[in-house]
Amino acid sequence: MNHTTALGLLTLLLVLSFPSEPASAAPAEAETRPNVIVIFTDDQGYQDVGCFGSPDIKTPRLDRMAKEGRRFTDFYVGAAVCSASRVALLTGCYPQRVGITGVLMPKAKIGINPDELTLAEVFKQRGYATAVVGKWHLGHRPKFLPTRHGFDEYFGLPYSNDMWPLNKRRKHPPLPLIDGEKTIEENPDQSQLVRRYTERAVDFIERNQKRPFFLYLPHTMPHVPLHVSEKFKDTSPRGLYGDVIQEIDWSVGQILDTVKRCGLDEKTLVLFTSDNGPWLIYGREHAGSALPLREGKGTTFEGGFREPCIMWWPGTIPADTKCSEMAATIDLLPTMAKLLGVELPKDRILDGRDIMPLMTGQPDAKSPHEAYAFYKGRHLQAVRSGQWKLHFPHDYHKVTASGKKGKRTRGERAKIGLSLFDLANDVGETKNVADEHPDVVARLKKLADRFRDDLGDTATKREGKNVRPPGRVGT
């Protein structure tokens, strides 16, 4: 054996004797995994961002985020109320499928089912650090808290900020501020919540900048009662509501600045949207604007379900672009799962679809949804397909004279009959064109029947038809 051969054999033996550890591939593998931050406000109107048309609320950081990213103009939530919308975001399912279709109160004994696969649990399968900072509202009992559903950390309120002893309409227990699973304060100073959430979120990013992370930042505001810090008080001509949105805009800026300071901007997807439309009954200074959309929170009109949405991921999402294809919060979970190579369970239906082609602006990319369902509770009230939206006869709450100085006005009950709207030319849902397009009405009725067969419809109960049993809510 010559010297060269012996040296080669020795080298081979050394390589075989010291195989590479699986962990050695982790850092390189982690480089390809994007960090993800979802900023989710509460009761914000479609128009309440500068780049979505607000004439009197200044949002320079959100506007810059849109300039560097992509605006989604036809972006929907899963419901026009808090808990149902949040469960849709985190499970990729219509709320009717998972059994939380309304608002959970402090005395509620139910919450998100432990068998659900949450967005956080998808990220945990790839070794992500996970945290939620802000409003949870999917069950406040220990087994329903975020730390039992894929989140490493939790800091925030377990439900809405009006569910506290000062609420004159209902008797509520003290409002808890929770850290992990422990209540650390009762009835916290709400004027400091945006600041405290932001500081906690920034700290989480800084602590996890060397590993992939998922941060869910569901702000308590601008849900009433509105509170703002002294720094932002009286800064907007829109009044207190405008002040609150401008503080949230500051918070978005703090998040983006931290991402850039840590050198993570090309590795981080940031998504900004809200849980449902504005609560119009409190008047202009205490409520948002859904213009040019119709109605607001609690309705199945566009003002209740369609939200401003901005996605930012430098180098991946094209800058200063707009997507007018239909997309939704339910799409985030399957999109992230596919991006990370996480296999989704085969024993359940997910309603969301992969929207990465829309996010990255691929030529000719279309919405993956043939149709989208608009439920109120368990009643299917409308369905959209392409530019067309069909409303079935239903009642809704119409504000006729909003309250002054934050006082609530109930308005009146209104009714809408079978109505077809062309959203491409009438986004405000003002002109019923059903008689002009009977073929479209017939097609959307068939699509609605598919939703009824799958998710049920309480309206069919009066007709003696079977109704799908409640979804898999946790008890």
Residue ranges covered by each domain of the chain:
30-359, 372-463
**pLDDT single digits (tens) 390-418:** 999 999 988 766 556 556 566 678 999 99
Is the model's pLDDT at 235 over the cut of 80?
Answer: yes
CATH for 372-463? 3.30.1120.10
How many angstroms from the chain centroid is the CA of residue 299? 17
| Whole-number percent of the chain with pLDDT over 90 | 81
The residues pairing with 41 across neighbouring beta strands, listed in sequence order, are 274
C-alpha–C-alpha distance, residues 418 and 381, integer Å: 10
Is the model's pLDDT at 2 over the cut of 50?
Answer: no
Active-site position among 3, 51, 93, 137? 137
What is the model's pLDDT at position 468? 53
Q: Could you tell me where the DSSP H helices lie in 295-353?
A: 302-305, 332-340
Q: Assess whether 137 carries a catalytic annotation.
A: yes
**Residue type at 389?**
K
Is the model's pLDDT at 15 over the cut of 50?
Answer: no
C-alpha–C-alpha distance, residues 162 and 192, integer Å: 15
Number of residues that make up the chain: 475
Active-site position among 3, 51, 82, 437? 82
**pLDDT single digits (tens) 143-154:** 999 999 999 999
DSSP string, 361-428: T-TT---S-S-EEEEETTEEEEEEETTEEEEPSEEEEE-SS--STT-----EEEEE-SEEEETTT-TT
pLDDT, averaged across the chain:
90
97, containing H or E segment: helix 95-98
Q: How confident is the model at residue 8 (pLDDT cuts 50, 70, 90)?
A: very low
Q: Which CATH class for the 30-359 domain?
A: alpha beta
30-359 and 372-463 in the same fold = no
Q: How confident is the model at residue 87 (pLDDT cuts 50, 70, 90)?
A: very high
**pLDDT single digits (tens) 20-62:** 333 333 433 555 689 999 999 999 999 999 999 999 999 999 9
Q: Answer for the pair 153, 130: CB distance below 8 angstroms, yes or no.
A: yes
Taking phi over 0 as left and psi of -120 to 50 as alpha, with beta for the rest, 429 belongs to left
